[in-house]
Structure 1
Amino acid sequence: MTSDHDMVWRHCAHLGRVLLPLVDQESWRRARRHENLQAWGIDTAAGERMIEIFAALAAHAVALDASLPAAELEALPLKVVADAATGKRDYELLAGLPDTYADDRDGLAVNVFRLYVYKGGQYSHRLTRLSTELRHALLVLAERSPVPSPTCGDVFRRAAEAGLPQ
């Protein structure tokens, strides 16, 4: 049986996975993101994966801070996640993570993020740039939303409507 804590992480990881495909519904956004990543010396595929895991970590940190059970994660406002992406220290995003991950790619990406945090220097600078890109992506989704204060649940519903994998 999966614990509630593990379910919170799974929902947060799902948010990270659907974020960029939803933003990329306007194709020029993907091209702009790729240009930014290349200008910063970040491999495009690796950078996008780091943005995904960054989104999961930010949502997870906010959910833990608020003691949200998995069933209430859908009510988490996107703006709060965006604020955590740039407002929390990188190492704060690593607190309370699961010991194991259902998707090994998540565990690997978290470890890469952890390595960036501990190495500091240029890696810390990359995380700052990625956090800004993540915040931008979350705010783009929020601006597109027909509801005034969109939540993670709104993103999950849009992802389902767009046929993105669950």
Structure 2
Amino acid sequence: MTSIALCRRNIFIGGAVTAAMTALASVSASVSALADEPPEDYAEQTLKLDLFSCDISELAARKAVHPVVYKFAELESEEAQAIAGVLLNAGASRPTRPDTLSQMVDTLDRMDPGPAFDLAYIQHQIDNHKSLLTVQKREAENASHQGVQKTVATVLVPLIASHLNMLHTAHTDLAF
């Protein structure tokens, strides 16, 4: 990933987080009122996938050997923490991780650093980002939804799409 691409990505990420935080501040309902509402499917699904991405990215930031994988993992961990922070501060509850995602974290944790780990991490990220993109598109396209969650989803759609492009490029590079 070039320094121009990383700079552009960091600017976009900063704008996305700023937009989400602005939306959070402008929501008329207080955080405590949101916390009293039953958890919404969108927030729960997003947090499950987002927190999984954060955990495997933190692992990859320690184990990755390819510089592109390492840098992606660092940035992804920071972004995932920011997204989780916005949703949790808006009243979402931290969900229980499904067993399948827990098993994936354990599998990656047991792997030795090296090209096989890097490729496995990238593949898990591709799969996770595809799922996350589906959740975000559904929320962003729902005309009846408004507020923080819709704003977060709307901002995340192009961000996740760009991540998928980067991940596919990295996967192609690592597979050869």
Greater share of helix: 2
Q: Tell which has more relative contact order, 1 or 2 (C-alpha 8 A, sep 6+).
A: 1
Tell me if both proteins adopt one fold, taking TM over 0.5 as the criterion.
no
TM-score by structure 1 length? 0.34
TM-score by structure 2 length? 0.33
Question: In terms of Rg, which structure is larger?
Answer: 2
